[in-house]
């Protein structure tokens, strides 16, 4: 078993469930712009690749900037009423902090919405470093986001563990040479995850304790 010093977490679908807030805000913005609403499953299957990519799946190219603006204004409030912890997430953060692991976040979310979530759930202080999608030139699945975190702690890829819930997370870990544990609580299927050969797959984030 590798000896990890740093545990890096994805956010949505891994530590938090913000899907209700995303669905609410996206459909609100679609309605304002005169587009038909989207079902929850379609929206959930579209998240994870960054805000602009999300919008591009539902509106024409010329409407993306307007869509983002409307979405953000609504999302500032919907995140506060529609975001909860994934089962076991807060407990595992407490355990890892007590065990003196370095903890970090690697999310394709922009800084503004990441901060709303972390402040709302009061877990920002658990993390020594938080890297968001608008802090890198190339978002996940490119390895830059993980490489930036490794550089911050002066650690090699073999000293870190990345925990995510989607194929984009496993691809990112593979591209960075960082062992990735996939939690099967996101919108990617078990088969989709398995095809990318993560270090391990677990059904609940509480099971992470077995690998540290």
Enumerate the domain spans of the chain.
6-17+84-211, 19-82
For residues 150 and 102, the answer to whether their CB atoms sit within 8 Å is no
Please provide the CATH number assigned to the domain covering 6-17+84-211: 3.40.50.1000
Q: Do domains 6-17+84-211 and 19-82 have the same CATH topology?
A: no
pTM: 0.90
Q: What is the pLDDT of residue 48?
A: 80
Separation of alpha carbons 111 and 93, rounded Å: 21
Distances (CA, A) of 21 to 71, 129, 161, 193: 11, 25, 28, 25
Which architecture characterizes domain 19-82 according to CATH?
A: Orthogonal Bundle (1.10)
> What pLDDT was estimated at residue 104?
98
Residue 186: the pLDDT is 86
Residue ranges in the chain modelled with pLDDT below 50: none
Q: What is the pLDDT of residue 162?
A: 98
């Amino acid at each position: 078993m590798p000896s990890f010093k740093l545990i890096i977490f994805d956010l949505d679908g891994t530590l938090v469930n913000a899907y209700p807030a995303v669905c609410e805000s996206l459909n609100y913005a679609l309605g304002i712009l005169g587009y038909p609403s989207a079902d929850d499953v379609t929206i959930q299957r579209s998240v994870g690749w960054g805000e602009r990519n999300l919008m591009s799946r539902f509106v024409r190219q010329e409407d993306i900037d307007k869509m983002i603006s409307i979405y953000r204004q609504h999302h500032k409030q919907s995140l506060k009423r529609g975001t909860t912890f994934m089962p076991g997430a807060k407990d595992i953060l407490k355990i890892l902090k007590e065990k003196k692991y370095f903890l970090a976040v690697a999310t394709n979310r922009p800084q503004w919405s990441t901060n709303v979530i972390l402040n709302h759930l009061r877990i920002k202080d658990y993390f020594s470093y938080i890297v968001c999608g608008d802090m890198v030139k190339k978002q996940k699945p490119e390895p830059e986001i993980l490489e930036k975190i490794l550089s911050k702690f002066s650690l090699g890829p073999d000293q870190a563990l990345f925990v995510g819930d989607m194929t984009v997370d496993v691809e990112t870990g593979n591209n960075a040479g960082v062992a990735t544990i996939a939690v099967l609580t996101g919108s990617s299927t078990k088969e989709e995850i398995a095809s990318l050969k993560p270090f391990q797959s677990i059904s609940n984030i509480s099971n992470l304790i077995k690998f540290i």
